[in-house]
Amino acid sequence: MKYNMSIIVSIIFIVLGILIKYGKMYFLIAGYNTMPKKKQEKYDIEGIASVFRNTMFGMSFIMIMGYFISKWLDNPKIDIYAVFVAIMIGLPYLLIVSNSSKNKIKKDN
């Protein structure tokens, strides 16, 4: 049985999104686990985990839709384009939103 790479990557993204958000596996978020505890407390990790989950699910959705559209139109290039579009939109969005001030906890000191 031949598996399509975009479906496999989509499944991996869905699993990662679930593990980060609901499994609280924050060590999968690059840089967070290496921060000192005092600096980690300045971030809303639940909010960041939600951004990761939503972005991973969105990227997976684009890839899966690209796969089915490519099969429907019998054009394998659409599948490849969908993967690139998902990554080219998803990764910058993930980096920008997860690092925004929205996810920093404001403390009165």
**Domain annotation covers residue 31:** yes
Token pair, residue 13, equals 């993204």
**Domain annotation covers residue 34:** yes
Around Cβ 73, how many Cβ atoms within 10 Å?
Answer: 10
**Domain annotation covers residue 108:** no
Contact between residue 57 and residue 14 where contact means Cβ atoms under 8 Å apart? yes
Q: How far is CA 67 from CA 11, 23, 39, 90, in A?
A: 13, 28, 41, 17
pLDDT at residue 25, rounded to an integer: 87
The answer, as to whether pTM is greater than 0.85, is: no
Mean pLDDT value across residues 82-103: 89
**Domain annotation covers residue 109:** no
**Domain annotation covers residue 43:** yes
**Domain annotation covers residue 46:** yes
How far apart (Å, rounded) are the C-alpha atoms in residues 83 and 101? Answer: 29
**Domain annotation covers residue 94:** yes
10-82-94-102 Cα dihedral, nearest 10 degrees: -110
Which band of pLDDT confidence, cut at 50, 70 and 90, is reported for residue 16? very high
Structural domain of 31? 5-103
**Domain annotation covers residue 39:** yes
Our count of domains for the chain comes to: 1
Which band of pLDDT confidence, cut at 50, 70 and 90, is reported for residue 17? very high
Provide, rounded to the nearest whole percent, the portion of the chain with pLDDT above 70. 94
